[in-house]
Every structure is written in structure tokens, then in C-alpha cells.
Amino acid sequence: MSDMTRPDFNEFHESPDLNAQKEQAKRCNNCGVPFCQAGTMIAGMASGCPLNNLVPETNSLVSMGNFEQAYVRLSKTHSFPEFTSRVCPALCEAACTCGLHTTPIPTKENERAIIEYAFAHDLVKEIKPATRTGKKVAVIGSGPSGLATAQILNMRGHSVTVFERSDRPGGLLRYGIPNMKLDKRVLDRRIDLLKDAGVEFKCSVNVGKDISAKDILKEYDRVVLCCGASNPRDIKAPGRDAKGIYFAVDFLKEVSKRLMDEDYSSEALVKAEDFSFGSLKGKSVVVIGGGDTGNDCVGTAVRLYADSVTQLEMMPKPSEERLPSNPWPEWPRILKTDYGQMDAIKAFGKDPRIFETTVKEFIKDKKGNLTELKLVKLTPKKDEKTGRMIMAEVEGSEYTLKADLVLIAAGFLGSESYITTAFGVECNERTNVSTKPGEYLTTQERVFTAGDMHRGQSLVVWAISEGRKAAAAVDESLMGYTNL
């Protein structure tokens, strides 16, 4: 494949024709029972919007071309539509009644049209309260849950300071999601509004290390831990100490930071050879993990001119259509080919994914550099002791695969221990911060939590929902009541 056909790091979302969106939105009026806005758990999976956005109302306004009122309606339940309309897997569309027999309403695209119209027409404002309550709240972490918490508490009149250990605010939105999926200037646009409304951001401050939890609790009336599930799951196999193995989150962060430092120049980024992992030109890259982060690594490696990209997935290849055991409106457990895989297919002529496979050994040369992977095929099998289905190795199925660089995108194990230890909060067996069911107060007085740190690795839309609810809980604890 020629270098000229490689995609760049610019956002790939394209705005559809507004007239076509209006026609699509009209189909929403055919719905009898709108599951799209339910946000409930069915068979252990979310069905419908966790923010409970009133989707039929916003779609009805879009169908009439009234984007201003559609924004007013959407902003009553949603803090940051510009984020979810780019990165959310659209739980609303998966639960759309029209999707039962035909294609669902493109609610995600409508949401993006609404918020971009609102920004273009100067409708988006963050509320700067006329009076302050005199209460101070520290939010630790500036990802989607932290930003939502800060937004709502600031709107209420509390003085909010957001602490972020990285050099720029945004957390997962900044450094966990590539620019082509969420342009960081979209993120900065919202953060600037929050700053103008009175939210203070303190970056390059690692609470628990640079400043003690004791000092934070002494200065602030309440603390909200929104540090994410940032403890990556490792791959324990012989040869793990080989040079050329990186966690996906570190890889993506380094690329995103360099792109911003280069003023969003894709050309400068591609030419850079002084990454910690060096240039990817001529290298065989293997991504371990089949989720969203793995897909982002595939798309990024393609853009950095890797010679080949392979993605390993432990689980069997999903069905391309719903099975009878997975009926609507459950979340569809079907094969999803995302932008990263599409880019790899275009670049190399084949799907990069290998299913039912895991790493048996990392093979290195005499200098300690990674050269190959010993892989083994897996098959579903019932565990005789527990009765649960597990992925078991297929005897005699080992083979080797060339690998110069491995990116581990095997998920996250919960919060990092140094921050939970610093504040003395209890964690459950999954290392998520413990609270009573449906609540956000931790086991420590005046310390709350929200987002992935609370519920485990999840979606941006869930993090925003958690942040809004945690803000209401904090407000009630400060004021004795809440109208949030």
C-alpha cells in the first residue's frame, strides 16, 4: 500500500445533510414505547441512555428543524453532548424501537448536529452563579466524571477546584481517546467555558504524591474522587520483560501529547522518530485486546505507518446478527468492525483481528528486544470445578508471529492504590471504591467518588451520568438539601 493513502489524525466524523437528518428524525414519531431513554440494565447490560436523555422530544424538535430548542431540551439532562456524540457506542440506538425491524433512528448523529449548531450559534453557556455558597469542593481527576461533577457543583454556586496529574485537563478524553475520534480542540472548547464560569483547574498536580490527602481535606469541605480505572491489566507470560512491550494507555497518551505539542500537525507526528517506542515504519505491531482501546491502538498504528498490525482477541468471533439468546432491546452482542479495523483492512487488505488466541510467550533476542510471539489457540470449555465457561488452550496449537512492538489493551483492573490509600477509602474485590448501592459517599466522611473509579471500566456516558449524580449527593451533604 502506498504511503499516500494512509489516513491522518484529523477527526473522521462527517456531518450528514441536515435535511436528511430531519427526515430520519421524523421516524421517531412512529415509536410506541421509547426504550431509547430508559437507561436500565437488561441481562447484565445497559439498554438505553444512562443519562435518560428524552430522545423522542429532541428528535421531534430536530424533525422540525428547531435545533435551538432541541439544544435546550438536550442540555437539561446532558452535560457534554459534544463528547458522547463522537465516542459513545449509542446505547440509545441499540434500544431504538424502530431498530427492531429496520434501522434505528440516528440519534447519535442528531445529538452531534444539535450541539454543533448550538456552538456555532453561540448558544452554549456555562452558568456562572451570581452568588457563591462559600463551600469549597476538590475534584480529583478531570475525565468525563470529574468534569461533569465540577460543572454541576459550580453551577450550584460551590467553589470547585479540579486537580489533574497530567499537563492538560481532560483525563481519558484527552489522553485515552485518539484525536481522530475526539479532536482535543473540542475538549478545550468546553474546558474554556468551565474556566470562564469559575471552575479552577490545577494541572501537573498528583494528589497523594505532590500534595497530601490530609492537606486537601483540610482546605476543602468535600472531595470527589474521579480518578478513573487507570490500573491496566498486564499479560503474565514468559519474556514479559522484553523491550518493545507497552501498555496501550501509555502509547495512546504519548501520541496524543505529541500531536498537541506539534499544533495538530499530522505530518510532523508521522515524521517523529523520538517516541519512546521509536518510529513504527517497517515494524510489525501486535495489539493484545479486542475492545475500544485495542481498536484505537490499531487505528493509531496504521496512521504511524506500521508495516503490519495484528489484533489478538481471546474470545470467539461474535455473530454478525443477533442470536435468539440476545433479543432486542438487549445490547446487541454482534461483530463490530470499528474505524481502526476498517483502516487496517484498507491498509493491508485484511481484517487485523485473530479471535480465540492469546500469548503463550514473548520471544526476545540476545539484546532483550522483542522479535516474536508464541501464540496459542483457545476454545470455550466448561470449568469442571466452577461450572463456568472458560477459554482453554488447544493442545498442540502453538505457533509464532513476528512482532517488533506489542501494545497491551487488555482492560483495566480498577483504581490505582496510592490514591485510595491516601484518602483511606475502602475498595471492593475489583478495586473499585466502595459505596452503598446507588450512593456516592465513600467509607470516609466528606469523600465521594464517581465514574470508572466507582463502577469500574465503563463508557464516557456512564461517567457523565455518575458525575452528575455525585454532584447532587455532594450538594445535599453541604446544604442539607439539593435541587439538582
Mark whether 383 and 435 lie in a shared domain: no
Q: Has residue 308 got a pLDDT over 90?
A: yes
- Lowest pLDDT segment from 36-40, 208-212, 355-359, 366-370: 36-40
* Residue 32: band (very low, low, confident or very high) from pLDDT cuts 50, 70, 90: confident
Boundary (domain end) residue, out of 408, 429, 456? 408
**What pLDDT does 266 receive?**
93
The reply to whether 149 falls in a domain is yes
The reply to whether 396 falls in a domain is yes
Q: Has residue 29 got a pLDDT over 90?
A: no
Mark whether 256 and 290 lie in a shared domain: yes
Mark whether 149 and 115 lie in a shared domain: no
> What would the mean pLDDT of 391-400 be, rounded to a whole number?
96
Query: Which pTM does this prediction carry?
Result: 0.95
Mark whether 94 and 194 lie in a shared domain: no
Residue with cell 454541576: 152
Of 13 and 10, more confident: 10
pLDDT in tens, 436-458: 999 999 999 999 999 999 999 99
Mark whether 326 and 278 lie in a shared domain: yes
Q: Has residue 480 got a pLDDT over 60?
A: yes
Mark whether 381 and 443 lie in a shared domain: no
Mark whether 330 and 431 lie in a shared domain: no
The reply to whether 1 falls in a domain is no
pLDDT in tens, 178-229: 999 999 999 999 999 999 999 999 999 999 999 999 999 999 999 999 999 9
Q: Has residue 397 got a pLDDT over 60?
A: yes
**What pLDDT does 167 receive?**
97
The reply to whether 237 falls in a domain is no
The reply to whether 290 falls in a domain is yes
Mark whether 418 and 396 lie in a shared domain: no
Mark whether 254 and 400 lie in a shared domain: yes
Q: What are phi and psi of 50, to 5 degrees?
A: -65, -20
Mark whether 91 and 174 lie in a shared domain: no
Q: Has residue 418 got a pLDDT over 70?
A: yes
Boundary (domain end) residue, out of 90, 120, 150? 120
> What would the mean pLDDT of 120-134 be, rounded to a whole number?
96
Boundary (domain end) residue, out of 85, 120, 155? 120
Amino acid at 350: K
Mark whether 398 and 266 lie in a shared domain: yes
- Lowest pLDDT segment from 8-22, 98-112, 300-314: 8-22
> What would the mean pLDDT of 95-107 be, rounded to a whole number?
92
Number of folded domains that form the chain: 3
**What is the domain range of residue 288?**
245-408
Cell of 365: 533476542
The reply to whether 125 falls in a domain is no
Residue 27 is part of a domain; what is its CATH number? Answer: 1.10.1060.10
**What pLDDT does 4 receive?**
47
**What pLDDT does 2 receive?**
41
Residue 152 is part of a domain; what is its CATH number? Answer: 3.50.50.60
pLDDT in tens, 38-91: 999 888 888 999 999 999 999 999 999 999 999 999 999 999 999 999 999 999
> What would the mean pLDDT of 406-420 be, rounded to a whole number?
94
> What would the mean pLDDT of 408-428 be, rounded to a whole number?
94
The reply to whether 238 falls in a domain is no
Mark whether 389 and 266 lie in a shared domain: yes
Tell me the sheet residues that pair with 311. 287, 353
The reply to whether 439 falls in a domain is yes
Above pLDDT 90, what percent of the chain?
A: 89
pLDDT in tens, 225-258: 999 998 999 999 999 999 999 999 999 999 999 9
pLDDT in tens, 81-95: 999 999 999 999 999
* Residue 13: band (very low, low, confident or very high) from pLDDT cuts 50, 70, 90: confident
Residue 343: CB atoms within 10 A of its CB come to 23
